[in-house]
Amino acid sequence: MSNSHSMSKAELITALSVTAGAAAVGVLVYKTFFSKAKCAKPKVNLDLQKDNPKVVHAFDIEDLGDKAVYCRCWRSKKFPYCDGAHAKHNQETGDNVGPLIIKRKDA
């Protein structure tokens, strides 16, 4: 009597399929419950001045004139000034962001 057991082609394919399926389930469970990537929050600034560690703009009040309108959605082509890009952003995402408006008080 021989102790060696050779697998048939069908048994080998079944074993490989079960192993691949178990590996796929393992990866999904890991990504769902243990991966730190799920903790990452989406970025607001998608493409403006990405080479800078922090995007900062400062303006002197005296230089603003009567009114200045600044972007808060980070989608403006004229950033840091608002060009109305928030309207499209709001429509696409259901968000409600609008510009920051600074104006002088009427005397």
Which residues participate in catalysis according to the annotation? Answer: 54
CA–CA separation, 82 vs 50, rounded Å? Answer: 19
Residues across the chain: 107
Burial status of residue 89 (CB atoms within 10 A of its CB: 0-12, 13-18, 19 or more): middle
Report the alpha-carbon distance of residue 70 to residue 31 in Å, rounded: 39
Residues in CB range of 28: below 8 A, 6 or more apart: none
Coil vs helix vs strand at 100:
strand
